[in-house]
Structure 1
Amino acid sequence: MRKPLAIMAASAIALSSLILAPAANAGETITGSGSSYAAVMINECRSAYTEHSVTYNPTGSGTGKTQFANGTTNFGASDSLYSSGAPKNFTYVPVIAGPIAIAYNVPELKALRLDGPTLSKIFLGEVTKWNDKAIADLNKGVKLPNETINVVYRKDSSGTSNNFSNWMKQVVGSPWKVNDVWTTAAGKTFGTAGDKSQGVKNTMQTLPYSIGYFDLADTLTTNFGIAAIKNGAGQYVKATVAASAKFLAAQSMKSNGAVLFDYNKKVAGGYSVTLVAYGMAPTKNGTAKADAVRGFFDYMLNTCAPAKAAAKGYVAFTGKFLSNANKLVATID
């Protein structure tokens, strides 16, 4: 009888260990929505996070802000701040940054330089051919195709559009306005619309001789060229993590986490078409779900992003920016 008893005892111990062992994602389930620019990074972090279960829907920044304000989600993510309709008792948390890549689908064009005025004319439909003199003057010795430029822009309410239009307004001026809606920012409708960052990428893949703007992360899965854009120091710089980080470091951050971009600032080697994605979280909720959001944001800033951001095409915060972001995380409740 000793063997059966031993087996029963071993089984009981094994069963007790199964009952006591904490399961992965055994905590709260929290939901978020918003920025499609930051989606690759957020999904990378949430899939590796084990304290709580996190779901994220890359609806675009505009919808993310609305859903968070309405209480539909536990947290939001946006590349632009509220201009109206902000909820009470919440905080912004800058969670990730990175370049807006100006991508082009022109296989025979291996390198491309563009400045602000020329880029503006392309997106306004005033420069319509790839071999236009305005482009040729910036690309001496480069054989440019005699093909029509197909502009692709964001259809949805987009923080990426907000930041790119802000860059246009600062660098070029009229007629550009800062707005989440591209056609409002440009003051006209020109080109083909793509839904969210991934929609711009997918549209460009089916549209030869196209140009568009979206996150560097999504360009890594394409064969698109990336234009070198003239910065405030007069240099033509391609969208890279290092060049974006250099430009970001020269900017300032307010106590509420908002980064104030001076896109004309002379930063040698800096890529100026850079943005910040913000998390949005409650500060007087007093619930376990709010605690879970605080835990996830802390994990993104201090564990996930430092380890994984650069490989995914993003810039992780460091130094005084990270310190300020962590102070804001601490206010989530």
Structure 2
Amino acid sequence: MAVSAALAGTLALTACGASNESSGTAASGGGSSASSAPQLSGTLVGAGSSAQQAAMQGWTAGYTTVQPGVTVNYDPVGSGGGRSQFLAGGTDFAGSDAALGDEELTQAQDRCGRGGVFELPDYISPIALVYNLPGVDDLNLAPATIAGIFTGAITSWNDPAITADNPDANLPSTPITAVHRSDKSGTTENFTDYLAAVAPDVWIGGAVQEWPVPSGEAGAQTSGLVAAVQSGEGAIGYADESQAGDLSVANVKVGSDYVAPSAEAAAAVVENSPKVSGRGEYDLAIELQRDTTGSGEYPIVLVSYHIGCIRYDNQDTAELAKSFFGYVVSEDGQQAAADAAGSAPISDTLREQAQGAVDAITAGS
């Protein structure tokens, strides 16, 4: 399969070692059968979500113990870029922090043919509100307050709305710099989807991949946003929790409680959310319940997908995709991502559904 020019300079997340002959049969994903998996060789090419980057490093490091002859190249260009490259035929799969939209689903049918597309929710992680405010180590924020900050309506850290959430904190008059993503981003879509669901009277920008409000500062991809928050006192932004580093992280009001982002709290929201209706058999897109009031649930959650074809044109590509994604959804693979990125392992029910999609991957026109 042709590799797009955008993959020049790709971050190569490599699972490679001594060259092995392809068996002509897809390798098992992991677990107890991994040691007896037929050995493959070749390269699988993907691009997309930068939030997935740490997890991809965990997956490829673990996968090398299963298939040392396979290289997985993943370019963290952002979800929108990854989907575009995949739909144009430039990569074998996409990583995306948002499921395909209706127009993209039509393009996916052209890309993948009659076999259709799979969307596997392989990575579940909270989106943290990261902030840089020396002397304030614990911060509570209600939904409307968060929306006000990111629309530019709330401009200082001692604003009455913030002090109402933090009556015991010594909040300074430092100006707020709200930092958003400059690129087309699935993390932005998840964050704005949350704002639209919980504070519709304040946030009128909708659920969008490109930031809609002409205020604050911007950073490219997850790393650029985090760097912007780190460099500016009074700054706040949104990023996958695995990328928060040394930045402080706010608690979010859910019901009557303030909930910190955690893998467990993110998984609880996903477990209680239905699948999007009207999609294909192997499309496992989830309709997240952002306005939950459930105890211990954290609603600013990112469900990141792997998107690919059920039927690939090339037999070798089908075998590699089946092998790699079989590992990703396995218990071993999910633990590798959790260790590397702090993500929440998918539930047994979701794993069974995802494995059904992986098992269906084949080759042919």
TM-score range, shorter chain: 0.7 to 0.9
Equivalent residue number for residue 131 of structure 1: 158
Equivalent residue number for residue 263 of structure 1: 290
Q: Does structure 1 residue 235 correspond to structure 2 residue 257?
A: yes
1:215 Cα deviation from its structure 2 partner: 0.5
Determine the C-alpha separation between the residues in 2 that align with 1:308 and 1:40.
Answer: 8
Q: Does structure 1 residue 97 correspond to structure 2 residue 124?
A: yes
Equivalent residue number for residue 157 of structure 1: 184
Residue among 38, 61, 73 paired with 1:47 = 61
Secondary structure, aligned partner of 1:259: coil
Secondary structure, aligned partner of 2:360: coil
TM-score calculated relative to the size of structure 1: 0.88
Q: Summarize the Cα distance change of 1:26–1:328 in structure 2 as closer, same or farther, 3 Å threshold.
A: closer
1:298 Cα deviation from its structure 2 partner: 1.1
1:266 Cα deviation from its structure 2 partner: 2.4
For the 8 Å contact 1:241–1:310, the answer to whether it is kept is no
Q: What whole-Å deviation, never above 9, does each CA across 1:47-77 have from its counterpart, x for those lacking one?
A: 3323221010111000000000011111101
Secondary structure, aligned partner of 2:311: coil
Q: Does structure 1 residue 76 correspond to structure 2 residue 94?
A: yes
Determine the C-alpha separation between the residues in 2 that align with 1:203 and 1:189.
Answer: 17
Secondary structure, aligned partner of 1:153: strand
For the 8 Å contact 2:62–2:336, the answer to whether it is kept is no
Determine the C-alpha separation between the residues in 2 that align with 1:38 and 1:22.
Answer: 28
Determine the C-alpha separation between the residues in 1 that align with 2:72 and 2:59.
Answer: 9
Q: What whole-Å deviation, never above 9, does each CA across 1:118-169 have from its counterpart, x for those lacking one?
A: 0000001100000111000110111001100011101111011111111111
For the 8 Å contact 1:130–1:149, the answer to whether it is kept is yes
Equivalent residue number for residue 13 of structure 1: none
Which stretches in structure 1 are left out of the alignment for 5+ residues? 1-19
Q: Does structure 1 residue 244 correspond to structure 2 residue 266?
A: yes
Secondary structure, aligned partner of 1:211: strand
Q: Does structure 1 residue 34 correspond to structure 2 residue 48?
A: yes
Q: Summarize the Cα distance change of 1:283–1:193 in structure 2 as closer, same or farther, 3 Å threshold.
A: same
Q: What whole-Å deviation, never above 9, does each CA across 1:237-284 have from its counterpart, x for those lacking one?
A: 011112212222222235520111111122211111112101011122
Determine the C-alpha separation between the residues in 2 that align with 1:234 and 1:328.
Answer: 39
Equivalent residue number for residue 82 of structure 2: 64
Q: Summarize the Cα distance change of 1:31–1:311 in structure 2 as closer, same or farther, 3 Å threshold.
A: closer
Q: What whole-Å deviation, never above 9, does each CA across 1:181-208 have from its counterpart, x for those lacking one?
A: 112xxxx211111111111111111111
Greater Rg by CA = 1
For the 8 Å contact 1:91–1:331, the answer to whether it is kept is no
TM-score calculated relative to the size of structure 2: 0.80
Determine the C-alpha separation between the residues in 1 that align with 2:291 and 2:256.
Answer: 10
Number of residue pairs matched by the alignment: 307
For the 8 Å contact 1:80–1:277, the answer to whether it is kept is yes
Determine the C-alpha separation between the residues in 1 that align with 2:300 and 2:360.
Answer: 30
Q: Does structure 1 residue 217 correspond to structure 2 residue 242?
A: yes
1:310 Cα deviation from its structure 2 partner: 5.1
Secondary structure, aligned partner of 1:134: helix
Identity %: 28
CA RMSD in angstroms comes to 1.9
Determine the C-alpha separation between the residues in 1 that align with 2:312 and 2:267.
Answer: 34
For the 8 Å contact 2:56–2:337, the answer to whether it is kept is no
Determine the C-alpha separation between the residues in 1 that align with 2:72 and 2:99.
Answer: 23
